[in-house]
């Protein structure tokens, strides 16, 4: 289940227009190549805003070294966009590795501190477990192969499992890796709390942690972690995306 199928701020007319767009997209009379080059016909403003927000944040780390972590990657769109932004901004930087973490079986780790609902409980956002993890890795490799320097592919990783175990394991096994950027979309308190500590230790000065849900009142995990672990305890500046207000990010100072 995906919350946008149930929760929306759109009017009934907007929802109907969306359905008509989907119908035209699924039946568009063009070759595969022409469809791919015409995706802008079907990208709604809300998705375009997310893409612009990710691109804006990525632009701030181009001069910084370090890998990118996408924590709670879900279907992996942010990770794929980051690979393509890497190819645009820094095609020769083959050390800009992307590591995706997710259970791929839906949310996990809700506790009494969370406001779990019918839409925000263990299992929500499941996409098929390790089978989907393998598909996402294949997609990342295909994008690498399509990009400049595509013969150097296979840089990125997709790690399935509970990030409370998989993230510390990855960092322990890769003591040479430090972070320039991490996206958070875990949405349960305990995993967010434990993952933030591990990530901030490896985050370079000037590195960025981006939160998709920081100001959401329905999903308070990121806000609680921010208040408890960051607000008056870590030297940083906090911003919101000018393109997508729900995406907030801190820069480590």
Cα(102)–Cα(136) distance, integer angstroms: 11
Q: What is the pLDDT of residue 7?
A: 60
Q: Which residue has the higher pLDDT, 240 or 114?
A: 240
How confident is residue 110, by pLDDT bands cut at 50, 70 and 90?
confident
How confident is residue 239, by pLDDT bands cut at 50, 70 and 90?
very high
Q: Find the mean pLDDT for residues 188-208.
A: 96
Q: What is the pLDDT of residue 10?
A: 78
Q: Find the mean pLDDT for residues 179-189.
A: 95
User: Could you tell me the domains of the chain?
Assistant: 12-42 (no CATH), 45-252 (3.40.50.150)
Maximal C-alpha separation, the chain: 56
Share the mean pLDDT of the chain.
93
Q: Which residue has the tokens 């870590």?
A: 234
How confident is residue 2, by pLDDT bands cut at 50, 70 and 90?
low
Is 70 exceeded by the pLDDT of residue 1? no
Is 80 exceeded by the pLDDT of residue 5? no
pLDDT tens digits along 75-85: 999 999 999 99
Is 70 exceeded by the pLDDT of residue 125? yes
Q: What is the pLDDT of residue 120?
A: 74
pLDDT tens digits along 31-41: 999 999 999 99
pLDDT tens digits along 59-99: 999 999 999 999 999 999 999 999 999 999 999 999 999 99
Q: Find the mean pLDDT for residues 214-221.
A: 90
Predicted structure pTM score: 0.92
Q: Which residue has the tokens 């929306």?
A: 8
How confident is residue 217, by pLDDT bands cut at 50, 70 and 90?
confident
């Amino acid at each position: 289940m995906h919350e946008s199928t149930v929760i929306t701020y759109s009017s009934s007319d907007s929802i109907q227009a969306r359905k008509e767009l989907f119908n035209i997209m699924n039946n568009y009379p063009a070759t595969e190549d022409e469809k791919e080059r015409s995706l802008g016909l079907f990208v709604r403003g809300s998705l375009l805003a997310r893409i612009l927000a990710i691109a804006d944040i990525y632009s701030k780390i181009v001069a910084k070294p370090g890998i990118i972590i996408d924590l709670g990657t879900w279907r992996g769109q942010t990770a794929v966009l980051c690979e393509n932004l890497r190819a645009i901004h820094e095609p020769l930087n083959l050390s800009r590795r992307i590591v995706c973490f997710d259970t791929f079986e839906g949310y996990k780790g809700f506790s009494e501190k969370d406001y779990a609902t019918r839409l925000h409980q263990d299992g929500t956002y499941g996409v098929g477990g390790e089978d989907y993890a393998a598909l996402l890795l294949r997609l990342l490799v295909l994008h690498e192969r399509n990009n400049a320097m595509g013969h150097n592919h296979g840089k990125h990783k997709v790690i399935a499992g509970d990030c409370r175990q998989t993230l510390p394991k990855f960092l322990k096994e890769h003591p040479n890796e430090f972070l320039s950027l991490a996206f958070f979309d875990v949405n349960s308190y305990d995993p967010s709390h434990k993952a933030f500590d591990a990530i901030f230790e490896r985050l370079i000065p000037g590195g960025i942690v981006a939160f998709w849900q920081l100001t959401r009142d329905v999903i308070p995990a990121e806000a609680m972690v921010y208040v408890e672990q960051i607000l008056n305890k870590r030297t940083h500046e906090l911003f919101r995306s000018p393109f997508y207000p729900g995406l907030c990010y801190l820069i480590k100072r």
